[in-house]
Amino acid sequence: MRGETGTREDAVGYAEYEVTIYMANSDLFDFGAEQRDAAGGAASREPLAARMRPRTLDDIVGQGHLLGPGRLLRRAIEADRLGSIILYGPPGSGKTTIAEVVATTTHAVFVRLNAVTSGVADIRQVVSEARDRWKLHGQRTILFIDEIHRFNKAQQDALLPHVESGTVTLIGATTENPFFDVNPPLVSRSRIFKLEPLTTDDIRGLVLRALADAQRGLGALPVEVAPEALDHIASFANGDARTALNAIEVAALSTPPGTDGKIRVTLAVAEDSIQRRALRYDAGGDMHYDVVSAFIKSMRGSDPDAALHYLARMIESGEDPRFIARRLMIHASEDVGMADSRALLVATSALTAVEKVGLPEAGIILAHATIYIAAAPKSNSVVKAIGAALEDVRQMPVSGVPLHLRDASYRGASQLGHGTGYKYPHDYPGSWVKQQYMPDELRGREYYTPGSNPVEERVRQRLDGMKSRGDA
Protein backbone atom coordinates (compact mmCIF):
# COMPACT_ATOMS: atom_id res chain seq x y z
CA MET A 1 0.00 0.00 0.00
CA ARG A 2 1.16 3.51 -0.74
CA GLY A 3 2.33 5.83 2.03
CA GLU A 4 0.63 8.93 3.40
CA THR A 5 2.39 11.19 0.92
CA GLY A 6 0.57 9.65 -2.07
CA THR A 7 -1.69 11.93 -4.15
CA ARG A 8 -5.42 11.54 -4.70
CA GLU A 9 -4.67 10.29 -8.18
CA ASP A 10 -2.41 7.66 -6.67
CA ALA A 11 -5.17 6.55 -4.34
CA VAL A 12 -7.71 6.34 -7.16
CA GLY A 13 -5.28 4.41 -9.27
CA TYR A 14 -4.63 2.02 -6.41
CA ALA A 15 -8.36 1.56 -5.86
CA GLU A 16 -8.84 0.78 -9.55
CA TYR A 17 -5.98 -1.69 -9.35
CA GLU A 18 -7.63 -3.40 -6.44
CA VAL A 19 -10.88 -3.71 -8.34
CA THR A 20 -9.07 -5.15 -11.33
CA ILE A 21 -7.37 -7.78 -9.23
CA TYR A 22 -10.63 -8.63 -7.48
CA MET A 23 -12.41 -9.08 -10.76
CA ALA A 24 -9.63 -11.27 -12.07
CA ASN A 25 -9.76 -13.43 -8.98
CA SER A 26 -13.54 -13.54 -9.20
CA ASP A 27 -13.28 -14.93 -12.70
CA LEU A 28 -10.88 -17.60 -11.52
CA PHE A 29 -13.08 -18.49 -8.58
CA ASP A 30 -16.17 -18.54 -10.79
CA PHE A 31 -14.35 -20.94 -13.13
CA GLY A 32 -13.41 -23.14 -10.18
CA ALA A 33 -17.00 -23.10 -8.95
CA GLU A 34 -18.21 -24.19 -12.37
CA GLN A 35 -15.71 -27.03 -12.33
CA ARG A 36 -16.83 -28.08 -8.87
CA ASP A 37 -20.47 -28.04 -9.90
CA ALA A 38 -19.63 -30.22 -12.89
CA ALA A 39 -17.79 -32.61 -10.59
CA GLY A 40 -20.66 -33.28 -8.26
CA GLY A 41 -22.96 -30.38 -7.40
CA ALA A 42 -23.43 -28.98 -3.94
CA ALA A 43 -21.82 -31.93 -2.22
CA SER A 44 -18.56 -31.16 -4.00
CA ARG A 45 -18.17 -27.93 -2.03
CA GLU A 46 -16.59 -30.24 0.52
CA PRO A 47 -12.84 -30.66 -0.12
CA LEU A 48 -11.89 -33.66 -2.21
CA ALA A 49 -9.90 -35.17 0.67
CA ALA A 50 -13.04 -35.14 2.84
CA ARG A 51 -15.26 -36.55 0.07
CA MET A 52 -12.84 -39.39 -0.66
CA ARG A 53 -12.40 -40.39 2.96
CA PRO A 54 -12.82 -44.19 3.18
CA ARG A 55 -16.13 -45.43 4.55
CA THR A 56 -15.16 -49.03 5.29
CA LEU A 57 -12.04 -50.85 6.43
CA ASP A 58 -11.60 -52.28 2.94
CA ASP A 59 -11.49 -48.74 1.51
CA ILE A 60 -8.49 -47.79 3.66
CA VAL A 61 -5.19 -47.79 1.78
CA GLY A 62 -2.03 -48.86 3.60
CA GLN A 63 -1.70 -49.84 7.28
CA GLY A 64 -1.92 -53.51 6.42
CA HIS A 65 0.01 -54.35 9.58
CA LEU A 66 -2.96 -53.01 11.57
CA LEU A 67 -5.96 -53.48 9.33
CA GLY A 68 -5.04 -56.48 7.21
CA PRO A 69 -7.16 -59.65 7.47
CA GLY A 70 -6.94 -61.13 10.95
CA ARG A 71 -5.03 -58.21 12.46
CA LEU A 72 -5.89 -57.17 16.00
CA LEU A 73 -7.21 -53.67 15.27
CA ARG A 74 -9.35 -54.87 12.38
CA ARG A 75 -10.79 -57.72 14.46
CA ALA A 76 -11.64 -55.36 17.32
CA ILE A 77 -13.38 -52.87 15.01
CA GLU A 78 -15.33 -55.56 13.14
CA ALA A 79 -16.44 -57.18 16.40
CA ASP A 80 -17.36 -53.78 17.86
CA ARG A 81 -15.24 -54.65 20.90
CA LEU A 82 -12.72 -51.86 20.65
CA GLY A 83 -10.89 -50.96 23.85
CA SER A 84 -9.15 -47.65 24.49
CA ILE A 85 -6.50 -47.00 21.85
CA ILE A 86 -4.13 -44.25 20.74
CA LEU A 87 -3.43 -43.93 17.01
CA TYR A 88 0.03 -42.51 16.44
CA GLY A 89 1.36 -41.55 13.04
CA PRO A 90 2.33 -38.75 10.63
CA PRO A 91 -0.23 -36.39 9.06
CA GLY A 92 -2.37 -37.97 6.37
CA SER A 93 -1.63 -41.56 7.40
CA GLY A 94 -5.26 -42.37 8.28
CA LYS A 95 -5.77 -41.72 12.01
CA THR A 96 -8.99 -39.75 11.58
CA THR A 97 -10.10 -42.09 8.81
CA ILE A 98 -9.92 -45.09 11.13
CA ALA A 99 -11.92 -43.16 13.73
CA GLU A 100 -14.52 -42.29 11.08
CA VAL A 101 -14.87 -45.96 10.14
CA VAL A 102 -15.36 -46.82 13.81
CA ALA A 103 -18.02 -44.10 14.05
CA THR A 104 -20.00 -45.58 11.16
CA THR A 105 -19.71 -49.23 12.24
CA THR A 106 -20.04 -49.18 16.05
CA HIS A 107 -23.28 -49.52 18.01
CA ALA A 108 -21.80 -47.26 20.66
CA VAL A 109 -22.38 -43.51 20.71
CA PHE A 110 -19.42 -41.79 19.04
CA VAL A 111 -18.38 -38.43 20.48
CA ARG A 112 -15.66 -36.16 19.10
CA LEU A 113 -13.48 -33.64 20.87
CA ASN A 114 -10.55 -31.65 19.61
CA ALA A 115 -7.78 -31.15 22.12
CA VAL A 116 -7.09 -27.65 20.83
CA THR A 117 -10.59 -26.30 21.44
CA SER A 118 -11.84 -28.49 24.31
CA GLY A 119 -11.23 -28.19 28.03
CA VAL A 120 -11.91 -29.99 31.30
CA ALA A 121 -15.55 -28.82 31.28
CA ASP A 122 -16.12 -30.52 27.93
CA ILE A 123 -14.63 -33.75 29.24
CA ARG A 124 -16.86 -33.67 32.31
CA GLN A 125 -19.94 -33.13 30.17
CA VAL A 126 -19.06 -36.05 27.89
CA VAL A 127 -18.39 -38.28 30.90
CA SER A 128 -21.67 -37.28 32.59
CA GLU A 129 -23.67 -38.04 29.45
CA ALA A 130 -21.79 -41.31 28.96
CA ARG A 131 -22.55 -42.40 32.53
CA ASP A 132 -26.26 -41.61 32.10
CA ARG A 133 -26.36 -43.32 28.72
CA TRP A 134 -24.94 -46.52 30.17
CA LYS A 135 -27.31 -46.49 33.19
CA LEU A 136 -30.45 -45.81 31.16
CA HIS A 137 -29.78 -47.68 27.93
CA GLY A 138 -26.75 -49.89 28.51
CA GLN A 139 -25.03 -48.13 25.61
CA ARG A 140 -21.27 -47.56 25.46
CA THR A 141 -19.63 -44.24 24.56
CA ILE A 142 -16.56 -43.94 22.36
CA LEU A 143 -14.70 -40.65 22.78
CA PHE A 144 -12.46 -39.61 19.90
CA ILE A 145 -9.90 -36.93 20.81
CA ASP A 146 -7.92 -35.53 17.91
CA GLU A 147 -4.45 -34.16 18.72
CA ILE A 148 -4.60 -35.68 22.17
CA HIS A 149 -0.98 -34.69 22.81
CA ARG A 150 -2.22 -31.09 23.06
CA PHE A 151 -4.21 -31.92 26.18
CA ASN A 152 -2.38 -30.56 29.20
CA LYS A 153 -1.76 -32.65 32.31
CA ALA A 154 -4.90 -31.40 34.07
CA GLN A 155 -7.07 -32.34 31.10
CA GLN A 156 -5.49 -35.76 30.78
CA ASP A 157 -5.82 -36.35 34.53
CA ALA A 158 -9.51 -35.43 34.33
CA LEU A 159 -10.01 -38.03 31.61
CA LEU A 160 -7.93 -40.82 33.16
CA PRO A 161 -10.32 -42.25 35.81
CA HIS A 162 -13.15 -42.50 33.31
CA VAL A 163 -11.00 -44.36 30.80
CA GLU A 164 -9.82 -46.60 33.61
CA SER A 165 -13.37 -47.35 34.76
CA GLY A 166 -14.65 -47.90 31.24
CA THR A 167 -17.15 -45.05 31.39
CA VAL A 168 -15.74 -43.98 28.02
CA THR A 169 -13.68 -45.86 25.48
CA LEU A 170 -10.91 -43.57 24.25
CA ILE A 171 -9.64 -43.22 20.71
CA GLY A 172 -6.80 -40.72 20.74
CA ALA A 173 -5.05 -39.47 17.61
CA THR A 174 -1.64 -37.84 17.64
CA THR A 175 1.29 -37.07 15.38
CA GLU A 176 3.62 -37.06 18.39
CA ASN A 177 5.11 -40.05 20.15
CA PRO A 178 2.54 -40.81 22.89
CA PHE A 179 5.23 -42.27 25.14
CA PHE A 180 6.71 -38.76 25.30
CA ASP A 181 3.69 -36.49 24.95
CA VAL A 182 0.81 -38.30 26.66
CA ASN A 183 0.66 -38.96 30.41
CA PRO A 184 2.07 -42.43 31.19
CA PRO A 185 -1.01 -43.54 33.18
CA LEU A 186 -3.23 -42.79 30.18
CA VAL A 187 -0.82 -44.54 27.81
CA SER A 188 -0.69 -47.60 30.08
CA ARG A 189 -4.48 -47.94 29.89
CA SER A 190 -4.56 -47.70 26.11
CA ARG A 191 -3.27 -49.82 23.28
CA ILE A 192 -0.83 -47.92 21.06
CA PHE A 193 -1.13 -48.45 17.31
CA LYS A 194 1.58 -46.86 15.18
CA LEU A 195 0.54 -45.88 11.66
CA GLU A 196 3.18 -45.73 8.95
CA PRO A 197 3.38 -43.09 6.19
CA LEU A 198 1.61 -44.16 3.03
CA THR A 199 3.92 -45.33 0.27
CA THR A 200 4.23 -43.57 -3.07
CA ASP A 201 2.22 -46.39 -4.65
CA ASP A 202 -0.49 -45.97 -2.01
CA ILE A 203 -0.74 -42.25 -2.78
CA ARG A 204 -0.75 -42.85 -6.52
CA GLY A 205 -3.61 -45.32 -6.12
CA LEU A 206 -5.63 -42.85 -4.04
CA VAL A 207 -5.22 -40.11 -6.65
CA LEU A 208 -6.26 -42.46 -9.45
CA ARG A 209 -9.29 -43.52 -7.41
CA ALA A 210 -10.30 -39.87 -6.95
CA LEU A 211 -9.89 -39.20 -10.67
CA ALA A 212 -12.11 -42.18 -11.56
CA ASP A 213 -14.86 -41.64 -8.96
CA ALA A 214 -17.66 -39.64 -10.61
CA GLN A 215 -19.80 -39.47 -7.48
CA ARG A 216 -17.35 -38.35 -4.80
CA GLY A 217 -14.24 -37.56 -6.79
CA LEU A 218 -13.31 -35.80 -10.01
CA GLY A 219 -14.57 -38.48 -12.38
CA ALA A 220 -17.24 -36.22 -13.87
CA LEU A 221 -14.57 -33.86 -15.15
CA PRO A 222 -12.58 -34.56 -18.34
CA VAL A 223 -9.25 -34.59 -16.50
CA GLU A 224 -6.11 -36.07 -18.01
CA VAL A 225 -3.08 -36.29 -15.75
CA ALA A 226 0.35 -36.74 -17.29
CA PRO A 227 2.21 -39.73 -15.79
CA GLU A 228 5.08 -37.52 -14.63
CA ALA A 229 2.57 -35.16 -12.97
CA LEU A 230 0.96 -38.06 -11.11
CA ASP A 231 4.38 -39.34 -10.04
CA HIS A 232 5.36 -35.90 -8.80
CA ILE A 233 2.25 -35.49 -6.67
CA ALA A 234 2.56 -39.02 -5.31
CA SER A 235 6.24 -38.56 -4.46
CA PHE A 236 6.11 -35.08 -3.01
CA ALA A 237 3.03 -35.71 -0.90
CA ASN A 238 5.54 -37.52 1.32
CA GLY A 239 3.07 -40.14 2.51
CA ASP A 240 0.28 -37.64 3.23
CA ALA A 241 -2.95 -38.58 1.44
CA ARG A 242 -4.58 -35.25 2.25
CA THR A 243 -1.74 -33.31 0.63
CA ALA A 244 -1.94 -35.38 -2.55
CA LEU A 245 -5.71 -35.09 -2.89
CA ASN A 246 -5.62 -31.35 -2.21
CA ALA A 247 -2.96 -30.98 -4.89
CA ILE A 248 -4.85 -32.89 -7.58
CA GLU A 249 -8.06 -31.02 -6.72
CA VAL A 250 -6.36 -27.64 -7.07
CA ALA A 251 -4.73 -28.76 -10.30
CA ALA A 252 -7.98 -30.00 -11.85
CA LEU A 253 -10.19 -27.09 -10.76
CA SER A 254 -7.75 -24.32 -11.64
CA THR A 255 -6.70 -25.57 -15.08
CA PRO A 256 -8.83 -24.26 -17.98
CA PRO A 257 -9.87 -26.91 -20.50
CA GLY A 258 -8.19 -27.04 -23.91
CA THR A 259 -9.97 -26.54 -27.21
CA ASP A 260 -11.05 -30.16 -27.08
CA GLY A 261 -12.60 -29.69 -23.63
CA LYS A 262 -9.91 -31.73 -21.85
CA ILE A 263 -8.35 -30.52 -18.60
CA ARG A 264 -4.70 -31.49 -18.84
CA VAL A 265 -2.64 -31.61 -15.65
CA THR A 266 1.00 -31.35 -16.70
CA LEU A 267 4.13 -31.63 -14.56
CA ALA A 268 4.31 -27.83 -14.36
CA VAL A 269 0.73 -27.67 -13.10
CA ALA A 270 1.43 -30.43 -10.56
CA GLU A 271 4.50 -28.59 -9.30
CA ASP A 272 2.49 -25.43 -8.77
CA SER A 273 -0.36 -27.32 -7.14
CA ILE A 274 1.79 -28.99 -4.54
CA GLN A 275 3.89 -25.82 -4.16
CA ARG A 276 7.17 -27.59 -4.67
CA ARG A 277 9.36 -27.89 -7.72
CA ALA A 278 10.40 -31.28 -9.01
CA LEU A 279 13.98 -32.09 -8.10
CA ARG A 280 16.19 -34.89 -9.33
CA TYR A 281 15.85 -36.74 -6.07
CA ASP A 282 14.17 -40.05 -5.39
CA ALA A 283 13.93 -41.14 -1.78
CA GLY A 284 14.48 -44.71 -2.85
CA GLY A 285 16.86 -44.29 -5.77
CA ASP A 286 20.45 -43.52 -6.60
CA MET A 287 20.03 -39.75 -6.40
CA HIS A 288 18.89 -40.07 -2.80
CA TYR A 289 22.06 -41.93 -1.83
CA ASP A 290 24.23 -39.61 -3.90
CA VAL A 291 22.87 -36.50 -2.19
CA VAL A 292 23.18 -38.05 1.27
CA SER A 293 26.74 -39.13 0.46
CA ALA A 294 27.63 -35.64 -0.77
CA PHE A 295 26.08 -34.14 2.38
CA ILE A 296 28.21 -36.32 4.65
CA LYS A 297 31.40 -35.86 2.66
CA SER A 298 30.92 -32.07 2.58
CA MET A 299 30.70 -32.01 6.37
CA ARG A 300 33.68 -34.36 6.63
CA GLY A 301 35.58 -31.99 4.36
CA SER A 302 34.65 -29.01 6.59
CA ASP A 303 32.68 -27.21 3.85
CA PRO A 304 29.56 -25.84 5.59
CA ASP A 305 28.31 -24.11 2.42
CA ALA A 306 28.26 -27.30 0.35
CA ALA A 307 26.75 -29.20 3.28
CA LEU A 308 23.96 -26.62 3.50
CA HIS A 309 23.31 -26.97 -0.24
CA TYR A 310 22.77 -30.71 0.04
CA LEU A 311 20.75 -30.23 3.23
CA ALA A 312 18.45 -27.83 1.35
CA ARG A 313 18.03 -30.35 -1.47
CA MET A 314 17.01 -33.04 0.98
CA ILE A 315 14.55 -30.78 2.81
CA GLU A 316 12.99 -29.45 -0.39
CA SER A 317 12.67 -32.95 -1.79
CA GLY A 318 10.65 -34.17 1.15
CA GLU A 319 13.30 -36.15 2.99
CA ASP A 320 12.30 -37.17 6.51
CA PRO A 321 14.01 -34.59 8.79
CA ARG A 322 14.53 -37.31 11.40
CA PHE A 323 16.61 -39.25 8.88
CA ILE A 324 18.80 -36.17 8.35
CA ALA A 325 19.17 -35.67 12.10
CA ARG A 326 20.22 -39.30 12.55
CA ARG A 327 22.89 -38.87 9.88
CA LEU A 328 24.17 -35.81 11.75
CA MET A 329 24.46 -37.87 14.94
CA ILE A 330 26.46 -40.57 13.19
CA HIS A 331 28.76 -38.03 11.55
CA ALA A 332 29.31 -36.24 14.85
CA SER A 333 30.99 -39.36 16.27
CA GLU A 334 32.38 -40.82 13.07
CA ASP A 335 34.21 -37.78 11.71
CA VAL A 336 34.34 -35.22 14.54
CA GLY A 337 34.58 -37.59 17.47
CA MET A 338 37.06 -36.74 20.20
CA ALA A 339 38.17 -33.57 18.45
CA ASP A 340 34.96 -31.90 19.70
CA SER A 341 32.66 -34.14 21.74
CA ARG A 342 30.11 -31.34 21.90
CA ALA A 343 29.26 -32.09 18.26
CA LEU A 344 27.44 -35.26 19.35
CA LEU A 345 25.47 -33.27 21.93
CA VAL A 346 24.49 -30.73 19.25
CA ALA A 347 23.40 -33.48 16.85
CA THR A 348 21.44 -35.36 19.54
CA SER A 349 19.72 -32.16 20.61
CA ALA A 350 18.88 -31.48 16.95
CA LEU A 351 17.08 -34.82 16.64
CA THR A 352 15.08 -34.16 19.80
CA ALA A 353 14.18 -30.66 18.63
CA VAL A 354 13.18 -31.85 15.16
CA GLU A 355 10.82 -34.44 16.66
CA LYS A 356 9.24 -31.71 18.78
CA VAL A 357 9.04 -28.93 16.19
CA GLY A 358 8.67 -30.42 12.72
CA LEU A 359 9.05 -28.68 9.39
CA PRO A 360 9.49 -25.98 8.20
CA GLU A 361 11.14 -24.65 11.39
CA ALA A 362 13.03 -27.93 11.83
CA GLY A 363 15.08 -26.89 8.79
CA ILE A 364 16.67 -24.13 10.88
CA ILE A 365 17.62 -26.62 13.59
CA LEU A 366 19.13 -29.01 11.04
CA ALA A 367 21.08 -26.14 9.48
CA HIS A 368 22.40 -25.14 12.93
CA ALA A 369 23.71 -28.65 13.59
CA THR A 370 25.06 -28.99 10.04
CA ILE A 371 27.11 -25.79 10.27
CA TYR A 372 28.46 -26.70 13.71
CA ILE A 373 29.53 -30.18 12.67
CA ALA A 374 30.96 -29.09 9.32
CA ALA A 375 33.02 -26.33 10.95
CA ALA A 376 34.22 -28.51 13.85
CA PRO A 377 37.74 -30.02 13.93
CA LYS A 378 37.81 -33.58 12.64
CA SER A 379 39.06 -36.86 14.04
CA ASN A 380 38.22 -40.45 13.15
CA SER A 381 40.13 -41.90 16.11
CA VAL A 382 36.88 -43.26 17.61
CA VAL A 383 36.04 -45.19 14.43
CA LYS A 384 39.52 -46.65 14.19
CA ALA A 385 39.57 -47.57 17.88
CA ILE A 386 36.29 -49.48 17.93
CA GLY A 387 37.12 -51.07 14.57
CA ALA A 388 40.40 -52.46 15.89
CA ALA A 389 38.74 -53.69 19.09
CA LEU A 390 35.96 -55.44 17.18
CA GLU A 391 38.48 -57.08 14.88
CA ASP A 392 40.38 -58.59 17.82
CA VAL A 393 37.17 -59.80 19.45
CA ARG A 394 36.12 -61.50 16.23
CA GLN A 395 39.49 -63.00 15.36
CA MET A 396 41.35 -63.78 18.59
CA PRO A 397 40.47 -66.40 21.22
CA VAL A 398 40.15 -64.69 24.57
CA SER A 399 40.05 -66.75 27.77
CA GLY A 400 38.09 -64.37 29.95
CA VAL A 401 38.27 -61.48 32.38
CA PRO A 402 41.27 -61.15 34.75
CA LEU A 403 40.35 -62.45 38.22
CA HIS A 404 40.82 -59.14 40.02
CA LEU A 405 38.28 -57.47 37.65
CA ARG A 406 35.55 -60.08 38.04
CA ASP A 407 32.32 -59.49 39.95
CA ALA A 408 32.92 -59.84 43.67
CA SER A 409 29.51 -58.66 44.91
CA TYR A 410 28.03 -62.05 45.76
CA ARG A 411 28.70 -64.42 48.66
CA GLY A 412 31.43 -66.88 47.87
CA ALA A 413 33.06 -64.77 45.13
CA SER A 414 36.22 -64.33 47.20
CA GLN A 415 36.58 -68.10 47.49
CA LEU A 416 36.85 -68.14 43.71
CA GLY A 417 39.44 -65.38 43.77
CA HIS A 418 37.10 -62.88 42.16
CA GLY A 419 38.06 -59.30 42.92
CA THR A 420 41.18 -60.31 44.83
CA GLY A 421 43.96 -57.81 44.30
CA TYR A 422 41.77 -55.16 42.67
CA LYS A 423 43.05 -51.64 43.27
CA TYR A 424 40.37 -48.95 43.60
CA PRO A 425 41.70 -46.01 41.50
CA HIS A 426 40.14 -43.32 43.70
CA ASP A 427 42.32 -44.46 46.59
CA TYR A 428 45.39 -43.29 44.68
CA PRO A 429 46.75 -39.86 43.67
CA GLY A 430 45.04 -38.50 40.57
CA SER A 431 42.45 -41.33 40.80
CA TRP A 432 44.76 -43.62 38.83
CA VAL A 433 46.83 -46.65 39.59
CA LYS A 434 48.68 -48.95 37.27
CA GLN A 435 47.08 -52.40 36.97
CA GLN A 436 46.12 -54.87 34.29
CA TYR A 437 42.70 -54.39 32.66
CA MET A 438 43.14 -56.28 29.38
CA PRO A 439 42.76 -60.07 29.17
CA ASP A 440 46.09 -61.88 29.23
CA GLU A 441 45.96 -62.60 25.49
CA LEU A 442 45.59 -58.91 24.66
CA ARG A 443 47.91 -57.46 27.27
CA GLY A 444 49.65 -54.38 25.89
CA ARG A 445 47.22 -54.02 22.98
CA GLU A 446 46.35 -50.39 22.11
CA TYR A 447 43.26 -49.40 20.10
CA TYR A 448 42.81 -45.72 20.68
CA THR A 449 45.38 -43.43 19.11
CA PRO A 450 44.60 -39.74 19.77
CA GLY A 451 44.24 -37.58 16.68
CA SER A 452 46.31 -34.51 15.86
CA ASN A 453 44.03 -31.81 17.22
CA PRO A 454 44.26 -29.65 20.36
CA VAL A 455 41.69 -31.64 22.34
CA GLU A 456 43.21 -35.04 21.65
CA GLU A 457 46.70 -33.69 22.05
CA ARG A 458 45.82 -33.03 25.68
CA VAL A 459 44.31 -36.51 25.92
CA ARG A 460 47.53 -37.96 24.50
CA GLN A 461 49.65 -36.14 27.07
CA ARG A 462 47.50 -37.42 29.93
CA LEU A 463 47.54 -41.03 28.71
CA ASP A 464 51.28 -40.93 28.05
CA GLY A 465 51.83 -39.51 31.52
CA MET A 466 49.95 -42.36 33.15
CA LYS A 467 51.76 -44.99 31.09
CA SER A 468 55.12 -43.59 32.12
CA ARG A 469 54.33 -43.82 35.82
CA GLY A 470 56.01 -46.74 37.51
CA ASP A 471 53.73 -47.26 40.50
CA ALA A 472 52.34 -50.75 40.63
Is the pLDDT confidence value at 325 over 90?
yes
Quick one: 295 and 343 in the same domain? yes
Averaged confidence pLDDT in the chain: 83
Q: What is the value of pTM for the model shown?
A: 0.51
Q: What is the pLDDT of residues 84-141, one digit of tens each?
A: 999 988 887 888 889 888 888 888 898 999 888 888 899 999 999 999 999 999 999 9
pLDDT reported for residue 11: 35
Bridge partner residues of 224 (DSSP): 264
Q: Which of 31-45, 74-88, 429-443 has the highest mean pLDDT?
A: 74-88
Find out whether 306 and 294 touch, Cβ atoms under 8 Å.
yes
Q: Counting Cβ atoms within 10 Å, is residue 187 exposed (0-12), middle (13-18) or buried (19+)?
A: middle
Quick one: 100 and 182 in the same domain? yes
pLDDT reported for residue 239: 81
Q: What is the mean pLDDT of residues 400-414?
A: 84
Report how far residue 28's alpha carbon sits from residue 221's, in angstroms, rounded to the nearest whole number. 17
C-beta atoms surrounding 286 within 10 Å: 8
Report how far residue 117's alpha carbon sits from residue 150's, in angstroms, rounded to the nearest whole number. 10
Quick one: 68 and 154 in the same domain? yes
Q: What is the pLDDT of residues 309-318, one digit of tens each?
A: 999 988 887 7
Q: Does a structural domain hold residue 13?
A: no
What's the pLDDT band for 342 if we cut at 50, 70, 90?
very high
When comparing pLDDT for 33 and 264, which is higher?
Answer: 264
Quick one: 443 and 405 in the same domain? yes
Bond prior to 360 in cis (omega within 30° of 0): yes
Is the pLDDT confidence value at 232 over 60?
yes
Q: Does a structural domain hold residue 145?
A: yes
Q: Does a structural domain hold residue 48?
A: no
Quick one: 392 and 370 in the same domain? no
Residues in contact with 116: Cβ distance below 8 Å, sequence separation at least 6, in sequence order: 147, 150
CATH number at residue 158: 3.40.50.300
Quick one: 75 and 166 in the same domain? yes
CATH number at residue 430: 1.10.3710.10
Quick one: 391 and 328 in the same domain? no
Number of domains forming the structure of the chain? 3
Q: What is the pLDDT of residues 42-92, one digit of tens each?
A: 345 789 988 988 888 888 888 889 998 989 999 999 998 889 999 988 887
C-beta atoms surrounding 65 within 10 Å: 13
Quick one: 97 and 181 in the same domain? yes
Q: Does a structural domain hold residue 389?
A: yes
φ, ψ dihedrals at 114, nearest 5°: -110, 125
Q: Does a structural domain hold residue 208?
A: no
Domain of residue 339: give its range.
286-375
Q: Which of 319, 347, 375 finishes a domain? A: 375
Report how far residue 365's alpha carbon sits from residue 321's, in angstroms, rounded to the nearest whole number. 10
Quick one: 449 and 337 in the same domain? no
Report how far residue 292's alpha carbon sits from residue 314's, in angstroms, rounded to the nearest whole number. 8
Is the pLDDT confidence value at 15 over 70?
no
Q: What is the pLDDT of residues 141-177, one digit of tens each?
A: 999 998 898 888 888 888 999 999 999 999 999 888 8
Quick one: 318 and 402 in the same domain? no
Q: Does a structural domain hold residue 176?
A: yes
pLDDT reported for residue 29: 44
Quick one: 410 and 440 in the same domain? yes
Quick one: 369 and 291 in the same domain? yes
Question: What is the β-pairing status of strands 223-225 and 263-265?
Answer: parallel
